[in-house]
Amino acid sequence: MGSRMLAFLAILALCSQALASDPSPLQDFCVAINDTESPVFVNGKFCKNPNYTTADDFFFSGLDKPGNTSNPVGSKVTPVNVMQLPGLNTLGISLVRIDYAPYGLNPPHTHPRATEVLVVLEGRLYVGFVTSNPDNRLFTKVLNKGDVFVFPEGLIHFQFNVGHTNAVAFAGLSSQNPGTITIANAVFGSKPPIKDDVLAKAFQVDKKVIDYLQAQFWMDNN
């Protein structure tokens, strides 16, 4: 393979990596605004006229308040992404607060558009992620107050409160709109449901097991 072809492939790889995350802004800011009358779809949000932008467009209040963990999984995610904070539009970053009841779980999930870095403020968390096929290698760690852990973009990950008291964590994500796919909810709670024949074969279990799981209420803690 010639040197020019190698150079071309290297540039192509770099461009592919660059396009894998939120695009870089072309101006100081682009405060998000919902334009319900526009027939055009955009990859993100329309920009508010900078002349009408105020400090409140870059402000969010409320992360000092704990989320309600009175639910089946015992956790609550409070997001601060472009939907809650319009000034994040085009900036490629967002934030969440996660509250955990004793033995509460943030169930296995993925963020299709973001890497996540998590820091524990209170409590003790067992965290981990699983690599892609074919290895499906599990990386885990028990985190204490002040500890930090990173979950690579797109990989299935989780956090479980292994302590007897409430736990709190904050996480930064490398997208203004990282998205969340909770694995159990997506597989067993899709609308319309995935055919039980498909899931029975995929999980190698009886269809009655699938029917039971699909009949459950799959709670979204986000």
Q: Which domains does the chain have, with CATH numbers?
A: 21-179 (2.60.120.10), 182-221 (no CATH)
Summarised one tens digit per residue, pLDDT across range 63-105 is: 999 999 999 999 999 999 999 999 999 999 999 999 999 999 9
Do 45 and 33 form a contact (C-beta atoms < 8 A)? yes
Length of the chain: 222
% of the chain at pLDDT higher than 70: 84
The residue among 27 and 169 whose pLDDT is bigger is 169
Q: What are the residues facing 99 on neighbouring strands?
A: 76, 168
CA distance 189 to 183: 9
The predicted pLDDT at position 3 comes to 56
Question: What's this model's pTM, rounded to 2 decimal places?
Answer: 0.85
